[in-house]
Each structure stands twice: as structure tokens, then as C-alpha cells.
Structure 1
């Protein structure tokens, strides 16, 4: 599979990223992830599943640094996901993606719904996370990585960033360009 790269498509072509718009916002860019993009992730905290409690909602995932996936997300991202223990496999479905992309002292916040599912290292849908042969418990640990494959293109526009606006107002008030 050809290496895909994350495309941050600038709407301010030819302008420096530090150039500010009249509204005080910087870097109007979009975050685009193509259909079937692969992101290598890990859970943030250990999560356990049992036949009596097979569902977990709002698990937090993080992209893995220097990952084997074909998409490199900004360095600060969180993915929310739901998990279900089903037939000895753990099904993980991503719900939302939130990223903060930084460029020097400027930052952009991208957040929105996403559709992605987990695949094991063997390429099979779902994860083999069973602790024993009978799968009385399945566990995901932060040290275990797995891939999430997007179900469709995802394009996120930057969200309002009040912190960036406040910092810009402070820079303008002090008469300086530095953060």
C-alpha cells in the first residue's frame, strides 16, 4: 500500500502561517483523512471486558508516535471509541477525533465525528484481546497497539480556539509579535 500522508490543505496559499486574518484567527486549514486510512493507536488506560460486562463506552485512544499506520496525525490527538466483546473478539469502533495542530506559537483545534474500526495485526476485524482460551476476560493495555481503519473520508475544519484569540490579543496589546 502506498504511503499516504495527512493533508493539511492551506486556504491561505502563499501567506505565512503566522499571518493573521482580520478576525484574529490564524492558519485556516483543514484536516483531511482519506477513506480506509490506517491509524495506529493504543488505549490511554487499561480497559477490561467480560461476558457479564461486554460493553465499554467512551474509551480514550491515542495515536502512536512513529506509528506503522499510513496516516500521521498531529502530535496531540484523542479518539473516543466504544468496545464490545463479541465471540472471542474485541470490536472497537471510533466515534470522535479531536486534534490540536501546532505551528510555532499558533495552534488549530480540529474535532468531529469519525467512523473507524479496529483490526488486529493479522488483518482480521476486531482484536484478539482474550486473557484465556475461554475468553472469560479480554483486556486492552496501553502498551498494546492496534490499527483503526477509517470507513469514509473525514474532513475537519478548524474550530474556534479562544486561547489562541486571547494570546493574539495579548501580543497586540504588548506591541509584539512573539507568543
Structure 2
């Protein structure tokens, strides 16, 4: 992300960054230390929602896929432009080949493919089924828990509360779990 770039407020949405890095031959231990360090550093940043590391799956594939999730594009930009991030870039240059990065937003970000250098998403029907399952689980649970307390509320405030909770839980709790649990079905090995 260009340090001069400024995001308008209406484009300040949650983002997922898929970074692909390959360690330099003989630098595996140093690369693992780098991964541990940058993951810890990113976790302390405002708006950081989590980091997932997918290590190489075979002997021929040396690529590590690292997913960084942030609540807002502006928080990602703040991290990318920080002095600390620049220091991690310098360390990465010593232990790995140049990175490949893709920034995803919206529903597709929930389904980022960990074993692919380019963004590729499962079929829309699979994405829809997983999203439906997540919403079904949340709505059913909320109806059991919240409705006795808020059923007397007017429709608009009740719906605002209900949908706000559904969106927050889907984004930060349920979809990360479901995409991990259904990874084999969503992204079968070719």
C-alpha cells in the first residue's frame, strides 16, 4: 500500500491481506523467527483481527501464506506505513524472497484461498451455503437469548440491534471459524 494513499471514510472497510513469502535456502530457522516476530508485532496494532499462517504443504512448495486481518483499511495503512513495519520489511529481505500480496475486502475476504498465489474463491454456491449456515446459527441463538428481552421493542430498534450483532459475529467470530472448519470442502486440493 502506498504511504501517500489516503482512504475516504466510506471506503474504510475490513480488509484481509494475503502475503506469500518463500524463505531463502538455508534461512528456514531465521524465516520462522521473522514470522513469529512480525505476527506478534502486527497483533499489537490497532484494529488487528488476527493472523493465520499456512506453512508449505509439500516438499516442492516452499511458499508460506500469511493472512493478516484488520477491521479497517485505515488501520492496515497505519501499520503498513509505520516505522516498525519498515524494520520488519528489512528483516524479511534478508531471510526471504520478495513478497507477493493481495488485499481483499467484502465477502470474498472471508474465503481467501491459503494455498494460492492469486485470489481464487470457491464457487458462489459453496460461499452462500457457508454464509447461510453462519447466519442461521447466529440468528437462532440470538432469537433464543435476546427475543424474550427485546420482543416488546419497536421493529426498527430491535432489527438494528439484531442485525448489528449478526454482522459483528459473522465478521469476527463465525466466518473465521467456519472457513477454517470447511476449508477442505471450500478449497479441495486439485
TM-score by length of 1: 0.30
